[in-house]
Structure formats: structure tokens, C-alpha cells
Amino acid sequence: MRLALVVQRYGLDIAGGAEYHCRLVAEHLARHASVAVLTTCASDYVTFSALTARVLGEVAREEPGRFDPQAVARASEEEARAWLDEQGPYCPRLVEHLRRRRGDWDFFFFFSYRYWTTWHGLHAVADRSVLVPTAEDDGVYRLPLFPPFFRRPRALVYNSVEERQMIHRASGNQAVLGEVVGVGSELPARQDPAGFRARHRLEGPFLLYVGRVDRNKGCPQLFDFFRRYRRETGSPLRLVLIGRSVSEVPPDEGILPLGFQPDQEKWDALAASSVFVLPSPLESLSMATLEAWWAERPVLVNAKCAVLRGQCKRANGGLYYATYDEFREALALLEGDESLRRSLGESGRRYFEANYAWPVVEGKYLDLLGRLRREDQAA
């Protein structure tokens, strides 16, 4: 079987969620099929400026046009199209490549619904397309372009039950084949919690956040809640941040920003941590939360994100909060009860193995492709 995966950016040095998701799926499906990645040369997710990256495997690249993606679409389809053009990456040569070479592949997977390359590319090969929407509940999916778009592909691969329900409500696409699959992770051969503590001179328990330190990820509220919690309770807990900062981190002895770190350092940090925290109000899956569960760590997440709240309930792997009072109560409970932390972490690990281990994820992709092939043969 010949598969093409289409994504707006791609590379070993590209850290975006959908881009990393695509790369992992490409590498694992390559064990079962001939896989090509079709992408642009964009490296920056804000400006989509071009920078050639060296990547293993077959990658076709085209140069994106330059737009400043700051427009916010309102109600009309015309405004939504203008928004999509400015969202980018504007790359008509990639779409033409899909039309010209469509016979080279059996199916095309498009990652992340909200990009120019996905919307125009999928329309070019709709009869062989599978959409991996990676949609968050930010309202964009309700713009005039998208409800009909979610009815166009042959199938959809959702990240969560909540994402599927959200898109069903917006588009009425229940008749389109759709499976909740998600994605696995690149797991470590070992973890070294003592080494992590020694390298960063960390003593005592700490809360861990992994991801971009950004207002859109709920980080300012986390900082406010955490600092207030320490003041009011006298807790020795510290907050360790792993990820690039694009928002200000307040100077506080209780908060340790480590910046971007290699994957192994992330895994060592998870092993050394007491609790993993994710304050983001918008997620379609959260690989970091799944990785925390693999590491048998309980999680504390933002209840305003339906996906995170639902994952916590299904996994029985953590607690969630919507207000400061709920944050304080949940964190105090986790901080003071080691057996609860252990129980939630172990439950999270079982949930990960049952749903997000790579043999499970690969099997779901292959089952979906098998159904599509049988439909083609019966037509």
C-alpha cells in the first residue's frame, strides 16, 4: 500500500503538536506501507518563513508564499477564505503536485484541518483522503468553510471522543467513516530521576509542566494559582517548566523554567516529579498527558478543556479544576497522599497501554485502511 501524509511543516526539528503527530505516524506506518510525506519548507508556525530541514525518508517540499496570519474570520465565507489564505502556509505548488501525482498513492492523510495546505490539498484528492483534524474547541472549526469540509474526506481519524463529538455537532458528518485513534509516543529505554535532580539541583517534591510556555496554554493562570497556593499553604512544592517560553515567567523561587530540553530530559523529569500539570483550556489530545501516564504520574488538568477532563475520567488517572479553590483542593489532596498519587499513576499507565501503545494505534490505522480498500474493491 502507498500512503502520502500531508502536513504544513515537517522535520526532526519541528516541535508543533500536529507536525510531531504526523512524523510519528509516518515513521510507524512505514513499517506496514510505502510512506511519503508532502509538506512545505516552512519552519516557523507564526510566519511560515522557509528554512530547509534535513529529514530522513522521502519528503517532497515546495516553497510557501508569505502571509501574515493575523486575520480573524467572522461570519462570511469570503472572510473565512481570506483568513485561511493568511493562516497559510500558502503553497499552490503543493496542491498542484497532489493533482498531478495523485496516482502515485492509494490514500492521502491530511493533518490539522485549519491550514491552507490541508483545505486545498484535501479537495484535490477528496476521494482518497483521510483527515486527521486535531481540532480544539476554539471556535475556528465552526467558520463557514469547515462544517462542509468535515463531510468531504473518505474518513476521519480523531484524537479523542470529545473531538469527534464536537465535529459531529458542528458538521453533521456522522455518515463519514471516523475512528478515535490518537497517537503513541517515543518511549525511553530508561529514566533517571536522580540524575535529573542532580543536574538541576532540585530537592523535594515538584509539579511538572511540559510544553510551550504560552498564554494560550493557560500558563499565566497556572503561575497565579501555584504562587497563591504556596503562599496560603506553605507548601514546599516547586513548579518545573520544560518548554520554550513565549510568555513571561514570573521571577519566583518556587518556579524553575528550564527552557527547551531533549526528550530524555523530559522523561527523567517525569520520573522525578510528583504530579504532572496541564493548564491548557484547548487540546485535541495532549501527548504530554499521555506520556505522564506512561511514566505512572498522576495529572492535574484544566477542567475547562473537555478533552482533558474526559481523558482523566476514562483513565482514572488524575484530577481537574476550573477555579482556584478547586486547584487548591486537588493539589493539596495529591501532595498529601502518596498512595493516591501511586494509584492514579498506575491507572493512567494501564489506560495508556490499552489505548495508546503503538501496536494499538498502528492496528487502528491499518483497520481503517483495510475498510477503505474493501470499499474500493466493492465499488
CATH class of 2-184+357-378: alpha beta
Same fold, 2-184+357-378 and 193-355: yes
Residue 75 pLDDT: 53
- Tell me the mean pLDDT in the region 287-292: 96
pLDDT digits (tens, 9 = 90+) for 223-260: 999 999 999 999 999 999 999 998 899 999 999 999 99
Those residues with Cβ within 8 angstroms of residue 78's Cβ, 6 or more apart along the chain or in another chain: none
Query: Using CA atoms, how far apart are residues 112 and 351, in angstroms rounded to an integer?
Result: 25
Residue 43 pLDDT: 56
**pLDDT reading at 66 higher than 50:** no
pLDDT digits (tens, 9 = 90+) for 88-131: 888 899 999 999 999 999 999 999 999 999 999 999 999 999 99
Those residues with Cβ within 8 angstroms of residue 27's Cβ, 6 or more apart along the chain or in another chain: none
**pLDDT reading at 67 higher than 60:** no
Domain boundaries, the chain: 2-184+357-378, 193-355
Across all residues in the chain, what is the average pLDDT? Answer: 90
* pTM metric for this prediction: 0.87
**pLDDT reading at 267 higher than 60:** yes
Residue 40 pLDDT: 84
Write out the E strands in the chain: 2-6, 34-40, 59-62, 107-111, 129-132, 155-158, 177-180, 206-210, 238-242, 255-257, 275-278, 299-302, 318-321
> The sheet that has 299-302: what strands, in order across it?
255-257, 238-242, 206-210, 275-278, 299-302, 318-321
Under the banding of pLDDT at 50, 70 and 90, the label for residue 86 is: confident
Residue 118 pLDDT: 96
Contact (CB, 8 A) for 72 and 57: no
H or E element that contains 161: helix 161-171
pLDDT digits (tens, 9 = 90+) for 21-45: 999 999 999 999 999 999 887 655 4
**Between the CA of residue 51 and those of 64, 97, 261, what are the distances in Å?**
10, 20, 22
DSSP 185-220: ----S---HHHHHHHTT--S-EEEEES-B-GGGTHH
Q: Is 259 left (phi over 0), alpha (psi -120 to 50) or beta?
A: left
* CATH of region 193-355: 3.40.50.2000
Residue 342 pLDDT: 98
Tell me if the bond preceding 153 is cis, omega within 30° of 0: no
**pLDDT reading at 74 higher than 90:** no
